[in-house]
Structure 1
Amino acid sequence: MLPSMTFVLGGAASGKSVFAENIIINSALTPVYLATARVWDAEIKKRVQVHQNRRTSVWANFEATHDLAPVLSDRHKGEAVLIDCATMWLTNHVMDGTDLAQAQSELLQALAGCPAPVVIVSNELGQGIVPADADTRAFREAQGRLNITLAAHADTAIQVVAGLPNVLKGAL
């Protein structure tokens, strides 16, 4: 049985999405994919296509770039939701000049109110070099605060490195 919230964290191309997808598939619940990416350019389009190609027709697919509450509130206990990913969700809010504190509060309320277990994927950005420009440093800080908050609210937190899980909190 899945905990109500599992947080999967890792660097770019670490295997975190595949790991999270497998958590959902192995749960025996109906898999629901909630995609947060907005296609900004050809590179993002290609990455989205890779993720889409991995999923079979068993997945119910939804897209929500900002407000995840409508999709989350419409779930039921026989489902398991994968949100991929918190970093793209945050990017959308930053690019649109959203009040990040308000958006994060609404996200936490939506997660708490979801009747289905949720697995949320996010990027770890704090282990690299200090970015050269102020906007990138501000984004890194916002992502770090979001990750800290999501990990604090999660029942289970897992860091994925080279496709391998490291359980930071809770149990698989």
Structure 2
Amino acid sequence: MARIILVTGGARSGKSAIAESRTLGLGPEAVYIATAQAFDAEMEARIAAHQARRGPEWVTHQEPLALVSALDATDGKPRLVDCLTLWLTNLMLAGRDWQAAGRDLVAALPRQSAPVVLVTNEVGAGIVPDNRLARDFRDAAGVLNQWVAQAADEVILAVAGLPLKVK
């Protein structure tokens, strides 16, 4: 079974940089499965900053919805999925069944032959959102994170750029 690592934390906690370092530590080349979609200039800039930080040892595979297919298609090298919360957002906005997709992801992780590092946001530590969509998203992210954490061999909490081993 492959090594499954979940890296979680708040916004700008350093989780992506920690996950990138961990992934490259698992092999000389890696696949970056990007779930983000650039719907505006600000998001384009965020994606460009992530891409600029990565070197030539990365192959980027863009997949906003079909994450399990992307994992299966790229198996063989260590993979980094960045990030589960953007994937969840994409699923919810597309009207997809996020619970079925999340269960499919959890079922797919043990069959991977190469390591998978997954990044997710810890969104439940803040205030209760003031609208239903935001509360539904917060709740769904919490459930998805719990499912993936249970399946993971290791869970890391990123705080101020530092990795704290949780599991």
TM-score range for the pair, normalised by the shorter chain length: over 0.9
AA matched with 1:6: I
Counterpart in 1 of 2:138? 140
Q: Which residue number corresponds to residue 33 of structure 1?
A: 32
The one-character-per-residue Cα deviations of 1:66-109 (angstroms, maximum 9, x if unpaired) are 112232123344x2100000010000001011111111122223
Q: In 2, distance between residues paired with 1:29 and 1:113?
A: 22
Matches of 2:159 and 2:86, distance apart in 1: 19
Partner of 1:72: 71
Residue 91 of structure 2 corresponds to 93
Distance 1:143 1:164 in 2: 22
The answer to whether residue 9 in structure 2 is matched with residue 10 in structure 1 is: yes
Distance 1:103 1:76, change over 3 A: closer
CA distance in 2, matches of 1:47, 1:139: 21
Tell me the secondary structure at the aligned position of residue 74 of structure 1. Answer: helix
TM-score, normalised on structure 1? 0.92
Deviation at 1:165, TM superposition (A): 1.0
Aligned partner of 2:122 in structure 1 is: 124
Which residue matches 2:109? 111
Using the aligned pairs only, state the percent identity: 42
Which consecutive unaligned segments of at least 5 residues does structure 1 have?
Answer: none
2:153 alignment partner AA: D
What letter is aligned with 1:22?
S
Mapped to 2, the partners of 1:139 and 1:28 lie a distance apart of: 34
**1:36-77 deviation per Cα after TM superposition (whole angstroms, max 9, x unaligned):** 011121211111111111111111110111112232123344
State whether residues 75 and 115 of structure 1, in contact with CA within 8 Å, keep that contact through their aligned partners in structure 2. Answer: no
What amino acid does structure 1 have at the position aligned with 2:119? V
Aligned equivalent of 2:100, options 99, 102, 112: 102
